[in-house]
Chains A and B, each alone.
Chain A
Amino acid sequence: MRPRRISRLWRVAAPLALGAFFLALWEVVVRVENIPPYILPRPLAIAGSLWTDGPSLLSALLVTLRVTLAALAAAAVLGGAIAVLFSLSRILELSLFPYAVILQVTPIVAIAPLIIIWVREPFLALLVCAWIVAFFPIVANTTVGLNSVDRNLLALFRLYGASQVQVLRYLKLPTALPYFLAGLRISGGLALIGAVVAEFVAGTGGAETGLAFRILEAGYRLAIPRLFAALFLLSLTGIVIYLVLDGLSRLLLRHWHESALEEEEE
C-alpha cells in the first residue's frame, strides 16, 4: 500500500516541482540579464497579463473551443461511421482509404485558404479544417480495431448463425472500442491544432475572433506577455481535452481492457 501512495504522490509532485523550479529560474534569469519583455517576458508578467486580459482571452478561447469540440464530434461520428463502412465492404476500404491518407498527409496550412474561400460561413470553414486534421486517426484506428476480431469468436458467431449486423454489434464494435478511443484521444489534440491553424490562416476574416487571432494580434502589437498568456491558455485547453478523453476511455474500458486496469493488478 505504502509504496503505491508514494509513487502516486510523486507522479503529481515531481513534474510540479520541476515546473516551479523552471519558472523561478526563468524569472531570475530575465531579471538578472535585464531581458526586455518584448523578447522574453517574465513569468510573473505573463501571470499579470493573464489576470488583466483574462476575460477577453477566455471569450476568445470559447470561440476556438467551440470549433474544436464540434470538429472532434464530427470526426468521431463520421470517422467511426467510415470505419464501419470499410469493415463491411473491402472494396470500399481499398478504394477510399488512399484518399483518406492523401487528405491526412496534405498540410492543413496549405489547403486551409482554399477551404476558407469555398466555405463562406466562417465557423463552418474552421470546422472543416479542424475536422480534416482530426478524423484520420479515428478512421485508421477504428478500422484496425474492426479488423482485429478474434477468429474463433467469429467462428462461434457463425456456428450459431449470427447475421452480419449481430457480428458487428456484439463482436466487431466492442472489439474496436479501445482502438476508437485511442484514436479519439489523438484526435482531441489534433482538432485543437486544426482549429488554431485555420484561425491563423483565416486571420480577421472571421466575424468572431478565436484565441489564435488574439495570439497574432498580440504579436503585431509586441504585447508579448499577452501572447504568452494566450499560449498558456491554449496548452491548458489541450491538456484538459486530453484528460477528459483519457478519463472517458478509462471509464468505458474499466472492466475489461488491459489499458484501463487498476495498478493493483499484477
Chain B
Amino acid sequence: MAALEAINLDITEGEFLSLVGPSGCGKTTLLRIIAGLAEPSQGDRRLSLTTEGGGQLPSGRIGFVFQDPTLMPWSTVFDNALLPFRIAGRVGSAERERVREEIRAVGLDGFENAYPRQLSGGMRMRVSIARALVTDPDLLLLDEPFAALDEITRMALNDDLLRLWESRRTTVVFVTHSVFESVYLSTRIAVMTARPGRIAANLPVELPRPRERTLRTSPAYAAICAAVSEELARAMAEGSQ
C-alpha cells in the first residue's frame, strides 16, 4: 500500500502551516518530498508555491530542521551554523556576520565556540534552527523538532520559534504530533490520515498575534484545540478501518 496518496497541498507564502497526524501517516515523508530529499515512488513532485507559480526551489532556499539536532560533533556551534555557506563556497565576513546574527537570534550568544556535546538538548536544537535560518530560506521545514525535548524546554522553544516567525514571516511547514503545539504556532493546520496518508482537513487558526503564553489558557485557544483533536480522532478512526 502506498504511504502517501495523491496530495495536493497549497502553501501560501508567509504562512505557518502545521501537519498533524497519527504516527506513520507519512508526515515526515511528505516533508522530505517537499525538500527534495525523498523521491515520490509514483508521479512526480510538483512543487509550486502559489504566489510564485511553479518551479523547484533552488538549493539553499529551503531550510530543514530534523527531529534530532543533526549537528557535526567535531565542529563548534559557529561552524555548524556556517555549514550552508561553507557548502555554497561563500565564507566571507558578511556570511560570518549572518551566522553570528542567527546564533544571537536563537539565544545562544556567547556559545559560538562551544561544541555540541557541551550543550543541552534544547540548545542543540537552537543551533539546528540557527543553521536552517542563516541562508534566509524561502521555505523552512521542521520535522517534529521538539518531540524529544522535555515539556519546559519545548514550551520555551515554541515561544522562540513563534517570535522568530512573527518578526520575519518565513513560510514554515511544521510537522508535529502535538495538537496544542500546532494550534499555538500555526496560521493553518492540515490534519493527515494514516495509510494511505492524505490530507483530511484544513483548519485555519484565527488567533490574535503576537501570541503570548497566556494564550494557552484562553477559551478561544481551547476551542480550536478541541476542533483539531476532533478532526484528528476522525482521521485516525478512518485510518484504522
Contacts and interface: CB of A to CB of B under 8 A. Distances in A.
B115 A255 contact: yes
Contacts of A118: none
A149 to B, nearest CB: 10
A255 B80 CA distance: 14
A187 B75 CA distance: 28
Interface residues of B, number: 23
A94 interface: no
B90 to A, nearest CB: 12
A212 B83 CA distance: 52
Nearest to A169: B86
Interface string A140-183: 00000000001011011111111000100011001001000000
Contact of A256 (B59, B62, B66, B115): B115
Interface in A191-227: none
Contacts of A174: 72, 74-75
Residue among A162, A177, A256 facing the most chain B CB atoms (10 A cut-off): A256
B64 A156 contact: yes
B204 to A, nearest CB: 29
Contacts of B32: 155
Interface residues of A, number: 20
Contacts of B2: none
Interface in B107-127: 115-117
Contacts of A156: 64, 66, 70, 83
A255 B60 contact: no
Interface string B181-218: 00000000000000000000000000000000000000
Contacts of A152: 66, 68, 70
Nearest to B85: A160
Given A159-B36, A255-B115, A171 B72 contact: yes
A150 B32 CA distance: 16
Interface of B: 32, 35-37, 59-60, 62, 64, 66, 68, 70, 72-75, 83-84, 86-88, 115-117
Interface of A: 150, 152-153, 155-162, 166, 170-171, 174, 177, 255-257, 261
Q: List 6 tightest A-B contacts by C-beta distance, closest first.
A: A161-B59, A152-B70, A160-B87, A256-B73, A162-B87, A174-B74
